[in-house]
């Protein structure tokens, strides 16, 4: 198995795209990644997406390839709920590492503003268990709220500590031209924001987002197409039950830990080597547990650490210099692709927001409530 | 890139499953494939599915792995419309050939009877173009009818010739214990069956189906787990526009041709070497064009050939000894996995219906109207 390199990144601004169609947005990212990689057309695309069914469209690989003028190439869509971008990257990585393809673009795309918000919220719950959870009317935010309540009580975490995550994310997103929410906030604003599903408040939660991102992958002998290729040195994925009720510990994401362990083992690095990471803060509680499962904090300690100023620019690691799902935004099936693209740009030194630099980066994309998790380790 | 082998096949009966849930059906196939491969648990699963969104469920890899007692393994769903099974097989093949995984199960699953038929019919049209086709109210059958009318006029094909396909498929399915429609029919029955979308009649069309199938894949050094491993010697996939209106020739599936050419080239075999094939006869017109694009017939000649008795048991190649989508049934995202599994069993000699034998087999799975096509060549 030879090395796989990211040699092109294409990002679109995350937000509410009313003038660009689903396919327009995907192709904008796809063509940007192709241009960044020197302009050669890819052999295959893998599309990361969760909810195109809400706009009655499947067959996305064909749709997007056709709109980009790429009929005849190969491809398919990969889905792993909110972890679809990471799943698509795993598929794209394998297409290259298998030797079947030489140039693969992974395209993440989601448009959550195509339908009324209640429909979209219901769609997001397809990441949970339709038979055991959704049928009782619980929302995805409601399920995460159960976890947050349990975690805060068990570990004695205060409202101020939880809210400090949002403040940090908004600080970072303020500098990121691709971010959806570019405004600074205060602890007071976060603490007093409307309750969505107690104890989750508005600023504990990512926004609804449209966005597309793309990554151009090649094997080692083609890495010269970009002056600053970034190697994928580790990749790990793990699954857990979609339904919370059958979990053994409500404040853990076992799949996040397994996925990170697998990626570290393959990369031959430890958590201490990571300079910069993009983690999956769909809710502040998801940030806390993900940070702990990756190993950046001990169990129950992540909120205290970030409230004390850790993980900000200047620290090691810096977490979510993009602003994270909280403020960069969370275009569901595209999020994992954004995360990896942002880490690649940090390692290359050309991320247009908060700059971290460093040699080793990590991205972790979480689907469901920790039920389909992909972790990627990248090296400059 | 080392070889990849199919060492386990699990099929469930295709039909209307009212007592088994979506996850039950998938796990039945998954466990059967594991047992056939010697019982060792897999490292990863890839789920082929198109329309679980109709029952408000995504995150299928996690759902199915959990229900099978396999939390902690890796996986994702792959989608390519009606070609989702083939796409999932391409993904599963790559996971093994990349060296990332050693034991991968590809699980195809679809339950089309979970919703009222009009909803399901609308869902099937997600394989077409939502913005340019579905919005005008055309159904997937209606689009195929346009192609069939054009093809029959252009090539001077009679109603009797088209109907002979269904008669042959029902003859074959009669012997297949996994088939949905196990009854023999006559030309007269097919010719006089109700019109669905002129000129497509009931017996030109596959039924609505529930079903799940699974294939256990390993690299060469593990092929000993089954006494009769079957090698995947060629695999090719190609995309075309989902919308018909932008095609250059309405009676061709360019992606089916490209995909077959790629699979033949990789396998180092020609169309003349194929002993047995399962092709994608969602409608009799799709059978005709697929047969011609693979190279089993010249353009416009396939219906004449099958009406003259070609492609039946005893001929080379034998097409669809399973009964095909027409009569085995078409559980959409599972169909490609059934096709490959059936060819594997033919080459192993243990298919429990019409037996063909032979050394080299082919499966071609078509998504949309020839817009996402995967062709696989297998050798005993």
- Following DSSP, what letter does each residue of A323-364 receive, concatenated? -HHHHT---HHHHHHHHHHHHHHHHHT--SSS----SEEEEE
Q: Count CB neighbours of B310 within 10 A.
A: 19
Q: State the pLDDT at residue B357.
A: 87
Q: Do domains A4-117+209-225 and A118-205+230-379 have the same CATH topology?
A: yes
Q: State the pLDDT at residue A218.
A: 98
Is CATH 3.40.50.740 what the domain over A118-205+230-379 is classified as, yes or no?
no
Pick the CATH number of B140-204+230-379 from 3.30.565.10, 3.40.50.970, 3.40.47.10, 3.30.420.40: 3.40.47.10
Give the H/E segment covering residue A94. helix A84-97
Mean pLDDT, rounded, for B285-313: 98
Integer angstrom CA distances of residue B221 from A39, B97, B218? 39, 12, 8
Domain ranges of chain A: 4-117+209-225, 118-205+230-379
DSSP string across A227-292: SS-EEEEEEEEEE--S-GGG-S-TT--HHHHHHHHHHHHHHT--GGG-SEEE---SBHHHHHHHHH
**Residue B58: which of A50, A131, A246 has the nearest Cβ?**
A50
Q: Count CB neighbours of A281 within 10 A.
A: 29
* Residues in chain B within 8 Å Cβ distance of A63: 129, 242
A370 touches chain B (CB under 8 A): no
pLDDT per 10-residue tile (average), chain A, 380 residues: 90 96 97 98 98 96 98 98 98 98 98 94 94 92 97 98 98 98 98 98 98 98 97 98 94 98 98 98 98 98 98 97 98 98 98 96 98 98
The Cα B123–Cα B128 span in angstroms is: 10
The Cα A164–Cα A168 span in angstroms is: 6
Q: Are B4 and B267 in contact (CB under 8 A)?
A: no
Q: Is A330 an active-site residue?
A: yes
Strand A230-239 to A372-379 pairing = antiparallel
Q: Which of B17, B170, B280, B330 is catalytic?
A: B330
Q: Are B380 and B348 in contact (CB under 8 A)?
A: yes
**Contact yes or no for B76 and A71 at CB 8 A:** no
**Contact yes or no for B241 and A126 at CB 8 A:** no
The Cα B180–Cα A246 span in angstroms is: 35
* Residues in chain A within 8 Å Cβ distance of B293: none
pLDDT in tens, B73-123: 999 999 999 999 999 999 999 999 999 999 999 999 999 999 999 999 999
* Residues in chain B within 8 Å Cβ distance of A66: 239-243, 246, 371
Mean pLDDT, rounded, for B150-169: 98
Interface of A with B in 131-190 (CB under 8 A): 131, 134
Q: State the pLDDT at residue A1.
A: 52
Q: Are A169 and A324 in contact (CB under 8 A)?
A: yes
What letter does residue A313 receive in the DSSP assignment? B
Q: How many CB pairs under 8 A join A and B?
A: 232
Mean pLDDT, rounded, for B43-72: 97
**Contact yes or no for A77 and B73 at CB 8 A:** no
Mean pLDDT, rounded, for B186-208: 98
Q: State the pLDDT at residue A217.
A: 98
Query: Under the phi-then-psi rule, with left for phi > 0, alpha for psi from -120 to 50, and beta for the rest, what region is A312?
Result: beta
Q: Is A159 helix (H, G, I), strand (E, B) or coil?
A: helix
A72 touches chain B (CB under 8 A): yes
Question: What whole-number percentage of chain B has pLDDT above 70?
Answer: 99
**Contact yes or no for B80 and A97 at CB 8 A:** no
Q: Are A347 and A358 in contact (CB under 8 A)?
A: yes
Give the chain B residue nearest A371 (alpha carbons): B62
What letter does residue A82 receive in the DSSP assignment? B
Give the H/E segment covering residue B118. helix B117-124
| pTM, to two decimals | 0.98
Q: Which of A17, A170, A280, A330 is catalytic?
A: A330
Q: Which of B17, B82, B170, B206 is catalytic?
A: B82
Q: State the pLDDT at residue A115.
A: 93
Question: What whole-number percentage of chain B has pLDDT above 90?
Answer: 99
Q: Is B67 an active-site residue?
A: no
Mean pLDDT, rounded, for B281-286: 98
**Contact yes or no for B242 and A59 at CB 8 A:** yes
Q: Which of A17, A82, A206, A280 is catalytic?
A: A82
Pick the CATH number of B4-117+209-225 from 2.60.120.620, 3.40.47.10, 3.40.50.300, 3.40.50.720: 3.40.47.10
């Amino acid at each position: 198995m030879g090395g796989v390199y990211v040699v092109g990144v294409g990002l679109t601004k995350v937000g509410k795209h009313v003038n660009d169609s689903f396919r327009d947005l995907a192709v904008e990212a796809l063509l940007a990644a192709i241009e960044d990689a020197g302009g050669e057309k890819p052999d295959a695309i893998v599309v990361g997406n969760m909810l195109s069914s809400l706009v009655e469209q499947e067959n996305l690989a064909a749709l997007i390839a056709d709109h980009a003028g790429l009929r005849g190439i190969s491809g398919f869509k990969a889905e792993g709920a909110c972890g679809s971008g990471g799943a698509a990257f795993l598929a794209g990585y394998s297409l290259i590492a298998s030797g079947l393809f030489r140039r693969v673009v992974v395209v993440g795309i989601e448009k959550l503003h195509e339908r009324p918000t209640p429909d979209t919220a219901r769609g997001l719950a397809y990441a949970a268990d339709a038979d055991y959870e959704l049928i009782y009317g619980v929302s995805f935010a409601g399920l995460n709220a159960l976890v947050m309540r349990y975690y805060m009580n068990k570990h004695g975490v205060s409202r101020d500590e939880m809210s400090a995550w949002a403040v940090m994310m908004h600080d970072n997103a303020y500098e990121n031209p691709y971010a959806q929410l570019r405004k600074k906030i205060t602890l007071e604003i976060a603490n007093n924001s409307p309750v969505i599903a107690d104890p989750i408040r508005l600023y504990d939660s990512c926004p609804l987002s449209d966005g597309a991102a793309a990554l151009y992958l090649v094997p080692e002998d083609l890495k010269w197409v970009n002056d600053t290729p970034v190697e994928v040195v580790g990749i790990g994925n793990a699954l857990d039950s979609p339904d919370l009720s059958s979990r053994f510990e409500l404040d853990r994401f076992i799949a996040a830990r397994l996925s990170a362990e697998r990626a570290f083992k393959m990369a031959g690095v430890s958590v201490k080597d990571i300079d910069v990471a993009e983690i999956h803060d769909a809710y502040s509680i998801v940030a806390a547990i993900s940070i702990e499962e990756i190993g950046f904090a001990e169990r129950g300690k992540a909120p205290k650490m970030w409230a004390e100023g850790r993980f900000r620019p200047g620290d090691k690691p810096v977490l979510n210099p993009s602003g994270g799902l909280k403020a960069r935004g969370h275009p569901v099936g595209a999020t994992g692709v954004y995360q990896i693209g942002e880490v690649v740009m940090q390692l290359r030194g050309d991320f247009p927001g908060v700059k971290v630099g460093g040699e080793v980066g990590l991205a972790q994309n979480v689907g469901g409530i920790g039920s389909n998790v992909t972790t990627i380790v990248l090296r400059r």
